[in-house]
Structure 1
């Protein structure tokens, strides 16, 4: 993991297309802004994990249905 120190208003670039800017800090919270192309999906990690879990369940359900159809 790369760890960087930034102050309010300073940015980090990821490749040519993504820029993360520190908007403000207060107590133990950091507000960030993210500039990225529309094709790049940006999620909070907890939301991303939920989406991944739901996708895995859906794939499992489809596999189970295909097995039932094939074995009939």
Structure 2
């Protein structure tokens, strides 16, 4: 991890397209402004992790879905008569 010190009003540039500017420092709170192309997604880390978890859950098959699929592949019925 690269660690840089910046003061209020100073910036960091990443790959000519993303600029991070320190807007204010008040106690433990640092406000950061981010200028980036519209195609670059920017999230707070906790939101990003939540999105990743939701995506994993939406694509992972449920155990009941797997059982139904296995039953169909074996030529069995998927419902009780």
Q: Shorter-chain TM-score: what band? A: 0.7 to 0.9
Match of 2:5 in 1: 5
TM-score, normalised with respect to structure 2: 0.78
Q: Which runs of 5+ in 1 are unaligned?
A: none
Q: Residues 21, 70 of structure 1: CA spacing in aligned structure 2 closer, same or farther, 3 A cutoff? A: same
Q: In structure 1, what is the equivalent of residue 77 of structure 2?
A: none
RMSD after superposition: 1.9
C-alpha separation in 1, matches of 2:68 and 2:42: 37
User: Which runs of 4 or more aligned residues in structure 1 lie more than 2 Å from their structure 2 counterparts after TM superposition?
Assistant: 64-71
For 2:14 and 2:67, the matched residues in 1 are separated by 43
Larger helix proportion, structure 1 or 2? 1
For 1:67 and 1:30, the matched residues in 2 are separated by 50
TM-score normalised to structure 1 length = 0.87
Highest CA radius of gyration, 1 or 2? 2
Task: Provide structure 2 residue ranges, at least 5 long, that are not aligned to the other structure.
Answer: 73-81
2:69 and 2:35 mapped to 1: Cα distance? 46
